[in-house]
Amino acid sequence: MNAEVSRREFVKAGAALSGLVVALQLPAYARTAAGALARLGPTLSPAAFLQIAPDGTVTFWLSKCEMGQGVRSALPMIVAEELDISPEAIRVEQASADPKYGDQATGGSSSISSLWQPLRKASAQAREMLVGAAARTWGVPASECATGEGSVRHDPSGRRLSYGTLVPVAAALAVPAEPALKDPKSFRLLGRPSRRLDTAAKVDGSARYGIDTRLPGMVFACIARCPVFGRPLTGYDADQARAMPGVIDVVPLEQGELLIGDFWRFELPGAVAVVAENSWAAMRGCKALDCRWEAAGGMSSAQLARIFRDRSAQAGRLGRNDGDAQTALEHAAKVVEVEYDVPFLAHATMEPMNCTAYVRGGRCDVYAPTQDPGTVSQLAQSLTGLDASAVEVHTTIMGGGFGRRFEMDWVIDSIRVSKALSRPVQVVWTREHDMQHDNYRPASYHVLRGGLDSAGKLVAWTHRVVAPSVIGWHAPGVLPPGSAAAAGEALDGAADLAYAIPNLRVDYCPVQTPVPVGWWRSVYASQTCFANETFLDEVARAAGRDPLELRRELLAGSPRHLAVLNKAAEQAGWGTPLPAGRGRGIAIHKFFSDAIVAEVAEVTVGPKGLRVDRVVCAIDCGLALNPDIITAQMEGGIVYALSAALKGAITLEAGRVKQSNFHDYPVLRHSEMPRVEVYILASGDTPHGVGEPAVPPLAPAVANALAMATGTSVRRLPLALE
């Protein structure tokens, strides 16, 4: 792996190492994944995820996971476009965990970009085979046939046959290797705003999330584990818990570790599960447990901060080294040096962590609101000793993911408890447990230096990123914190700085802390972009330059960046005067999905503190498949990032997370919502993922606006603590 490895590539690499990735395109037709459909006779199935039955039913197996980002609507839309049917005519089924679907891990804003071509190709193959079948049936050239509304028609003779009718003939034809794909200019669905396919069930309570799984004989469990990370259980007294009404059992879980694919490390925490007839009894029973932990000597946030600072004094692993930054800084007419502090953050999905497992006599079913069904399956196999064929993962929709549901701690809990009891068990974490046992967005410390020459040109830039390694946490044996892959991940957004600066040096200093870290919407770009873009405003002030003008100059060779930057600035009215106490700030970031987002924030600083009034967002995400979902992802990313920028901080005292629920880990509420405007710029003919790119530029845009309003630089997050 090279230093430029991204999370997406990493996840893929991990999957490849564990033997998960197979070609998405399977040559077999008449592949049947559903017994009921098989009984209808031959079906047309050019790829594992697509099947057309003789009764005309088009089934699409969704290999990716729906957490709110819209894949359950956007992916079927691609099939509908190429297959010339209406999206509503597609039966969308959640695929179980199976290598035949390819990589099912859902993250890195990669679902659309990775499946875009395979879905189009398989759908075009099916359409071409259906056309071939009709042409053969009618004895006419295929070139005279057209498709639409689920039928093939021959306009010269006015004949028409439905897809279903044609399936038996089409299924016997060879699958075309290179079917003709539609020209994006002729798309009738893609490129226009269209409704999501899953909204109705989300307004009447009928949508079933992981936590809504109900199985006959199912019991509920709540987990107690050491409040200091990674420490063992030394003893417990369960008498009071067992005496609670509704409590059925108390199950100790041994501490240990599990490796999947010789690669991923999973902690098996020393813990105690209280099993009860309902969630409430399980939670009450858990509170009544008297657990003894080896909890002494845990670190505080102040101690951790010192470790980060000390580490910054030594050089780190280089991620980029253009020119000679050190010499350029020594010769610079003016040097700007700033340090930034960014805190640990919880994911705080609305649906707390939960999972339902049923392990019994040679079979294991897991009902998991997961972003990574393949790993759930592998873990279940490892924990139960069963073969893949005896394990079924039922991926449910999720009440938010944001990276938290890549982790497996809550899955492990449910499988272990169910295995102990041989009955269906739903493990539900309380909000407090969820908040205090997350895999947190790493805290980070950034040291930046910028050198201006006598003409005020930015000629040197160094950025040292000090942070725990997410990859190193998950795969310490193969990709330890000191590895090139760890540096590549942690320097995302720092090493790939888009500004044209001749002398540029970026390095990464890993720090090891006991705090579990994980992938948090946009990952390290959420920190590096804050440091980059806030620092650039400091440089602009030092040079007496307008921050927009300076960015334009440094991005002169990057037309996509410039277009996005200019669009956001124009729409925001950059340069128009603001009354006292108000400020406007801009930031831009190219995310590793290749989407570029610029945001302009307008803030007011008044007696009630800081308020964000307006955020103008411009995005170039390549070919925009569904502008309304893209807009929703921009709105959502902005709100998620704004909660973090204004309020988010996880802090430690004696090794314990101090925050426990939404009263002390506050998030943005209705009354604090700024007006958000989104502008989508078109470029190229491939789509770039949009789930995360709105997050990174938000904090620096707000921080820069705050600095303008107050005249004081912002150098730490969250802003409310300033």
Partner 1 sequence: MPPTWLVVNGSRRTVTADPAMPLLWVLRDVMGMTGTKFGCGIAQCGACTVHLDGAAVRSCSVPLSAAAGKRVTTVEGLSTNRMHALQRAWIELDVPQCGYCQSGQLMSAAALLARNPSPTDADIDAAMDGNICRCGTYQRIRAAIHRAAGEA
661-680: contacts with partner 1 (CB under 8 A): 661-663, 667-671, 673, 675-676
CB of 321 vs partner 1, minimal distance in Å: 38
CB of 352 vs partner 1, minimal distance in Å: 7
**686 in Cβ contact with 680 (< 8 Å):** no
For partner 1, the closer of residues 3 and 222 by Cβ is 222
Q: Which of 126, 26, 119, 25 is nearest to 74 (CA)?
A: 119
Helices (H), 294-422: 301-312, 325-330, 373-384, 409-421
CB of 427 vs partner 1, minimal distance in Å: 13
For partner 1, the closer of residues 145 and 629 by Cβ is 629
285 binds partner 1 (CB under 8 A): no
Burial class (CB in 10 A: 0-12, 13-18, 19+), 168: middle
For partner 1, the closer of residues 74 and 169 by Cβ is 74
536-575: contacts with partner 1 (CB under 8 A): none
76 binds partner 1 (CB under 8 A): no
Q: Give the one residue of 35, 158, 205, 217 binding partner 1; rule: CB under 8 A.
A: 205
Given the rule CB under 8 A, which of 13-21, 63-71, 173-181, 592-600 is the region that contacts partner 1?
63-71
Q: Give the one residue of 107, 298, 400, 450 binding partner 1; rule: CB under 8 A.
A: 400
For partner 1, the closer of residues 70 and 298 by Cβ is 70
273 binds partner 1 (CB under 8 A): no
Given the rule CB under 8 A, which of 155-163, 274-282, 486-494, 556-564 is the region that contacts partner 1?
274-282
Q: How far apart (Å, rounded) are the C-alpha atoms in residues 76 and 526?
A: 30
Number of H helices, E strands in the chain: 19, 29
Q: Kindly give, in sequence order, each residue whose CB lies less than 8 Å from that of residue 77, ignoring residues fewer than 6 positions away.
A: 87, 189, 190, 194, 625, 626
For partner 1, the closer of residues 39 and 663 by Cβ is 663
Provide the mask over 374-393, with x wherever binding to partner 1 is found by CB under 8 A and - wherever it is not: --------------------
For partner 1, the closer of residues 486 and 615 by Cβ is 615
- Token pair for 538: 């400091």
For partner 1, the closer of residues 206 and 389 by Cβ is 206
440 binds partner 1 (CB under 8 A): no
Q: Give the one residue of 62, 65, 74, 397 binding partner 1; rule: CB under 8 A.
A: 397
Q: How far apart (Å, rounded) are the C-alpha atoms in residues 502 and 509?
A: 23
720 binds partner 1 (CB under 8 A): no
- Token pair for 629: 């979902």
CB of 719 vs partner 1, minimal distance in Å: 18
Q: Give the one residue of 4, 81, 103, 212 binding partner 1; rule: CB under 8 A.
A: 212
Three-state SS for 120? Answer: helix
Q: How far apart (Å, rounded) are the C-alpha atoms in residues 252 and 478?
A: 31
Q: How far apart (Å, rounded) are the C-alpha atoms in residues 662 and 426?
A: 24
Q: How far apart (Å, rounded) are the C-alpha atoms in residues 221 and 697?
A: 40
Q: How far apart (Å, rounded) are the C-alpha atoms in residues 59 and 40?
A: 14
Three-state SS for 11? Answer: helix
- Write the DSSP string, 61-110: EE-S--SSSSHHHHHHHHHHHHHTS-GGGEEEEEPPS-GGG------TT-
Q: Give the one residue of 202, 306, 334, 363 binding partner 1; rule: CB under 8 A.
A: 202
Q: How far apart (Å, rounded) are the C-alpha atoms in residues 210 and 442?
A: 27
706 binds partner 1 (CB under 8 A): no
For partner 1, the closer of residues 349 and 704 by Cβ is 349
608 binds partner 1 (CB under 8 A): no
Burial class (CB in 10 A: 0-12, 13-18, 19+), 250: buried
**Interaxial angle between packed helices 111-138 and 163-170, expressed in degrees from 0 to 180 and rounded to the nearest 10:** 80
**355 in Cβ contact with 367 (< 8 Å):** yes
**Interaxial angle between packed helices 627-647 and 698-710, expressed in degrees from 0 to 180 and rounded to the nearest 10:** 50
CB of 674 vs partner 1, minimal distance in Å: 9
216 binds partner 1 (CB under 8 A): no
Given the rule CB under 8 A, which of 87-95, 169-177, 408-416, 638-646 is the region that contacts partner 1?
638-646
350 binds partner 1 (CB under 8 A): yes
CB of 289 vs partner 1, minimal distance in Å: 17
209 binds partner 1 (CB under 8 A): yes
Given the rule CB under 8 A, which of 131-139, 326-334, 424-432, 543-551 is the region that contacts partner 1?
424-432
For partner 1, the closer of residues 306 and 675 by Cβ is 675
**579 in Cβ contact with 599 (< 8 Å):** no
Q: How far apart (Å, rounded) are the C-alpha atoms in residues 50 and 85?
A: 13
* Residues at the interface with partner 1 (CB under 8 A): 67-70, 195-196, 198-209, 211-212, 214, 220, 245-246, 277-281, 283, 348-352, 397-402, 428, 430-432, 628, 632, 635-640, 643, 661-663, 667-671, 673, 675-676
